[in-house]
Amino acid sequence: MASIRKEIAALNLLGALPTEDGTDPALIQKYEELYRRIIRPITDEEARVLVKLFGSDGCFGLASSLVHLIETAPGWPLEDCLHNLDNEWIMALRNRAIRGGLLPVDAGFGKNL
């Protein structure tokens, strides 16, 4: 992880975004502070780390913010990041890439828009 910035490495250590239901506000603030310190664009390697952070809900808008940040990676869309179609945020990234003409509609993932 040599080319991963410290903010992204710290987010990785925190793990998946917590749920909105009953999460300690201080923990949400920690995620948000780290996110806000990330200067765009990110690297492809950093996108691969961040795509693993999606949880089961929007985490007060942080998941949506991660979507936009991930899309700044120069090699985006990274097909190896788009296979967990059970996660709504990965599905959103995949569908955005398809609608933007960056991936074919079939994209070999088994599910379409």
pLDDT by residue (tens digit) across 61-100? 999 999 999 999 999 999 999 988 899 999 999 999 999 9
What Cα–Cα distance (Å) separates residue 30 from each residue in 14, 16, 48? 9, 13, 21
Comparing 104 with 11, the larger pLDDT belongs to 11
Cα separation, 111 vs 113, whole angstroms? 7
Q: What is the pLDDT of residue 108?
A: 56
Q: What residue spans define the domains of the chain?
A: 6-99
Helical H runs in the chain? 6-14, 25-36, 44-50, 62-70, 88-99
Cα separation, 75 vs 13, whole angstroms? 24
pLDDT tens, position by position, 38-53: 999 999 999 999 999 9
Phi and psi at residue 53, to the nearest 5°: -90, -5
At which residue do the structure tokens 């967990």 appear? 84
Closest CA to 22 of 53, 57, 51: 57
Average confidence score pLDDT of the chain: 91
Greatest alpha-carbon span in the chain:
41
